[in-house]
Amino acid sequence: MIVFLHTLLRWWVGLRLPFTSWRVSVQELCGTSRVSGQEVRMLAAGMPRWAEQVGPYFFAEEPVVEKTTLVSVWALRRHLNHRQADADLTLVGIDRISARLFLGKDYLAMPPLIATWQSVPENQPRSSLRSSVASDLRRVKKQDFASHLSKAEGDFDLFYDQYHKPYILGRHTKEARLTPRWMLRLAFRFGAIQWLTLKGERVAADLVMKQGRDYHLVVTGVLDGRQDLLRQGALAALYIHSLDHARQLGCSRIILGSSRAFLHDGLTRYKGKWMDGFNQDDGHITANHVLLLRWNRLAGPVSDFLSSAGIIHHEQSGYSALWAFPSHLPLSAENLQKQYESLKMKGLHRFRILLLDKAPAGFVCPPEVRLIELAEAEKAGAGCISSLG
């Protein structure tokens, strides 16, 4: 029932969006580059929250809004084309239907959020599976963590007010977007709270839900958003205990929940070391939207942005990544290998790396990696990145 209701809600919202968002706000933003410190400009169309999501990777600090214009969605393409020359980066956050109807194929499309999954092993994961996971396992074993599931009615409000809300507001600060209480309460009615305790005290929790053979980690919370509990491994402990609960319920996968589509996002990187693949249909309402990126020149502010963010974008029926090798590092096979190893994720169709110069001798290119010179990518344009192999 919950799957049907959520699918129906997402479908209904998706159909309404083109009619309720027919006037689009276009902001001209100016600030300093996060990487170079030079002045950079962004043209951001759609709700301000989309610029707030991308902005921290592009700007060093909160940018100045120089001008705001309301444009009808059917005139948006012409308006952005006219203003594009004034901006280093153009960003559009818009519903999928309007994007297809009015904006054409000149943009690189990325999801606002991505969801990942992890297979449930028959036994507890061995510490030899992955070095980063092994480190978490050792840290958790040093603590006296325990976990249990609860469907007690009073637990939901306790979780939302004292665990989930302070954790989200503390982690995302001004960009925080809380899922409405009523929506999570509906999920709770079909799910449970997975409590994590330390020496008898409830220190963290997940709102979880079983759908078929999938064990969904819907949202997470940490007591009062406390950083000391995070440093003690509370999130890792939640993941590890989730494997036990999922196994006991006969589940084969854990859906790890949503995070931002940036390789450098802390939560995305953390989940990346556990994940086995992407959950393409995450069911989240934001899946009705798409983020579109376009640029005039790649060299300079945009390549700096790509090097500090690393974007995960739509390609075919899955996802690919686009990342630029940092301009401040010597382009050697050793440096390229080290950087790639720190950013790679399972389940990507392609991992494209933009280089200022020719590929360094000695770099062994993995099958999913494509090395592309910046000039070649700039000539192709944002909408044709996928054509470069």
Task: State the pLDDT confidence band at 179, using cuts at 50, 70 and 90.
Answer: confident
Position 111 scores a pLDDT of: 92
pLDDT digits over 345-374, tens only? Answer: 999 999 999 999 899 998 989 999 999 999
Name the residue with tokens 């005139």: 75
286 or 65, which is more confident?
65
Superfamily of domain 121-251: Gcn5-related N-acetyltransferase (GNAT) (3.40.630.30)
Q: Given pLDDT bands bounded at 50, 70 and 90, which one contains residue 173?
A: low
DSSP string, 38-75: SEEEEEEES-HHHHHHHHHHHBSSPPEEEEEEEEEGGG
Give me the mean pLDDT over the 238-246 stretch: 92
The residue that leads in pLDDT, 127 or 192, is 192
Comparing 19 with 306, the larger pLDDT belongs to 306
Find which of 124-138, 167-181, 258-272 is predicted with most confidence, using mean pLDDT.
258-272
Instruction: Name the average pLDDT for the chain.
Output: 87
More confident residue, 7 or 96: 96
At residue 3, the pLDDT reads 47
By CB atoms closer than 10 A (0-12, 13-18, 19+), residue 210 is middle
Report the distance separating Cα 229 and Cα 72, nearest Å.
Answer: 48
pLDDT band at residue 2 using 50, 70 and 90 as cut-offs: very low
Rounded to a whole number of angstroms, the distance between the first and last alpha carbons of the chain is 42
Residues 6+ apart with CB under 8 A from 15: 97
- Which H or E element spans position 359? none
Average pLDDT over residues 37-52: 91
Over residues 86-91, the mean pLDDT reads 94
Tens-digit pLDDT profile for residues 8-31: 445 444 444 554 566 899 999 999
Mean pLDDT of 233-256: 92
Residue 283 has pLDDT above 60, yes or no: no
Share of the chain above pLDDT 90, in %: 58
Residue 229 pLDDT grade (very low, low, confident, very high; cuts 50, 70, 90): very high
Token pair 């020496």: residue? 199
Q: What is the pLDDT at residue 115?
A: 87
pLDDT range class, residue 134, cuts 50, 70, 90: low
Sequence letter at residue 330? P
pLDDT of 308-348, one tens digit each?
999 999 998 889 999 999 999 999 999 999 999 999 999 99
CA distance 10 to 8: 5
Domain ranges across the chain: 2-113+286-388, 121-251
Within 8 A by CB and 6+ apart from 250, the residues are 213
Model pLDDT, residue 270: 85
pLDDT at 12 (0 to 100): 45
Is the pLDDT score of 130 beyond 60? no
More confident residue, 259 or 287: 259
pLDDT for 291 equals 94
More confident residue, 298 or 139: 298
* Mean pLDDT for the stretch of residues 113-142: 71
